[in-house]
Structure 1
Amino acid sequence: MQEVAAVRRAALAAVDDVEPDRFRDRITDRLSDAPLTPGVLTLVSARAARDGPADFDDGLTGRAAGVQLIYEGLTLTRRLAQDDPWDGGDRDAADLDILVADVLVSRGFYLLARSEAAEAAVDVVRSFGHDQTVRESTGDASLDENLETDICELAVVAGVTAAGVTPTPSLREYASRLAADGLPENAWILGEEVGDALGTRTNPDYGPDSTEAAADH
């Protein structure tokens, strides 16, 4: 799947100037092992909105990488917050991972800063911080799922706006349901069915009575 390769190249390029080398290697190791589903969903969304062949220019792959980097940084932050490796764990590794998470999120913001998805990216991080604060005080683990919901919506927004399409409410709802079904670890499964469903929902007139409702997989 060419989308996977395109996202990985763009994500690695976005951190290529990080120093020192050993710190950059820690970041690239994480990106090399990541499933890249949010970034791929961004490209699939753009292709669906364009209703034509994918054109993975630097602007589009940069958006996809931005979504992916933000997600990688926040998932790492979430793990560190919940596992608390500073309490009896490898404190040095944890300190490095916090820096890795900061770099990932900041580079992701940079890539999306001048796009129509910039505000949505800010909302993702703001919601994440709120959810994790509430989770810590209440123990409500279900709040963790909000990150995947928010990142899927961000991916779709970043993708369709790259094609000049305004995200419709049904498009955002579909993105949320993709996350509710479980963000796939294998980005390869984001194939034709998902693309068709996204493409249908770029139409402002789409509704539950649409003849295209069968695209709701």
Structure 2
Amino acid sequence: MDDAARARDAACEALADVEPDQLREALEDRIANAAVTPGVLTLVTARATNAQVDADEVVDRAVGVQLIYEGLRLTRSVAHAEPWVTAPTRETDIDADMDVLAADVLVSRGFSLLACTDAAAAAVEVVRGFGRDQTLRDREGTDPAAATALDRNLEVDALELAVVAGTAAADSDPPEELLRYARELAADCDGEFPPAGSALPEATADRIADISDRAVSATDR
């Protein structure tokens, strides 16, 4: 099983007890159609940093990162569409309410998976940063280029969280160079990630391993 399939399956498993069924099915459909790039990067980072890392523990962290990202991405989509204002009908109101509820469940379930890990504080900062960015974006006078840049911060923050969660699973902290690399990976993303295989170059694992090895060597001097 490849990392994308592993991340999707584990995410659906983490949502298996959500009720009612209609909400759980909506969540599962969203995960099935998502580019699970943040989750995959978490897995790749952990293995590249420590090949002996516990696979089950890493999967839980990868799912936590992915669910938080999906919840915030859905929140952003609903906020931009403003369905209660642009096309207010009973059907659109119900769909929008369902999306808001789904976003809340995704973020809260993601937090529950990261709460007792060294990535918990970073996850909180991602949500806080998202709130600040969207508040700034909604201010009158924000030009389109600035609004796009503020939106793109979510993808950047999600990949930074992925490397934090991945290195934490391997009992280490991400060096600044690794955080910069995560930002580079997210630089060309506009509103969402392409499929994980497209967003993460084949050399990603080797690059992360090289950065981690050099960081350890520098510490040992």
The two structures share one fold, judged by TM-score above 0.5: yes
- Is 2:155–2:193's contact at 8 Å kept on the other side of the alignment? no
Unaligned runs of 5+ in 2: none
For residues 131-179 of structure 1, what are the alpha-carbon distances to aligned partners after superposition, in whole Å with 9 as ceiling and x for unaligned? 0000000433120011111111000110111111211011111111111
Q: Which residue matches 2:97?
A: 95
Q: How far is the alpha carbon of 1:35 from its aligned partner?
A: 1.2
Letter in 1 for 2:162: A
For 1:153, which of 129, 140, 160 is the aligned residue?
Answer: 160
User: What is the CA distance between 1:67 and its match in structure 2?
Assistant: 0.4
- What aligned pairs does 1:164-183 form with structure 2 within 5 A after superposition? 164-182=171-189
Confirm or deny: 8 A CA contact 2:35 2:196 kept in the other structure: yes
Displacement of 1:205 after TM fit?
A: 6.4
Q: Is the 8 A contact 1:153 1:176 kept in 2?
A: yes
1:56, 1:72 → 2: CA distance?
25
Taking structure 2 as the reference length, the TM-score comes to: 0.87
Q: Which residue of 2 aligns with 1:119?
A: 121
Tell me the distance in 2 between the aligned counterparts of 1:206 and 1:150: 27
**Corresponding residue for residue 204 of structure 1:** 215
Partner of 1:194: 204
Runs ≥4 in structure 1, deviation > 3 angstroms? none
Q: Quick one: distance in 1 between partners of 2:118 and 2:152?
A: 25
Q: TM-score, normalised by structure 1?
A: 0.89
Is the CA contact 1:170–1:206 (under 8 Å) kept in the aligned structure 2? no
Deviation digits for residues 86-124 of structure 1 (CA, Å, limit 9, x no counterpart): 111411100010000000000000000011110000000
Alpha-carbon deviation of 1:57? 2.6
In structure 1, list runs of 5 or more residues that go unmatched.
208-217
Shift of 1:47: 1.2
The Cα of 1:60 is off from its aligned counterpart by 0.8
Code of the aligned partner of 1:100: A
Instruction: Provide, for residues 15-68 of structure 1, a one-character-per-residue CA deviation record: whole Å limited to 9, x for no partner.
Output: 100001111111111111111111001001111101x37x66321101000000
> Which residue number in structure 2 is paired with residue 71 of structure 1?
69
Residues 30 and 184 (structure 1 numbering): CA distance in 2 closer, same or farther, change over 3 Å? closer
Structure 1 window deviating more from structure 2 (166-175 vs 183-192): it is: 183-192
Equivalents in 2 of 1:151, 1:185: separation in Å? 14
Helix, strand or coil at the partner of 1:166:
coil
TM-align CA RMSD: 1.8
- Cα distance between partner residues in 1 of 2:70 and 2:18: 16
- Letter paired with 1:180: A
Q: Aligned-pair distance for 1:192?
A: 3.5
Could you say which residue in structure 2 is the equivalent of 1:12?
12
Residue 22 of structure 1: SS of its match in structure 2?
helix
Q: Which residue does the alignment assign to 1:210?
A: none
- Distance apart, 1:186 and its partner CA: 1.4
- Show the counterpart of 2:21: 21
- Matches of 2:108 and 2:193 in 1, distance apart? 25
Alpha-carbon distance in structure 2 between the residues aligned to 1:131 and 1:35: 22
Structure 1 residue 196, shift from structure 2 partner: 1.1
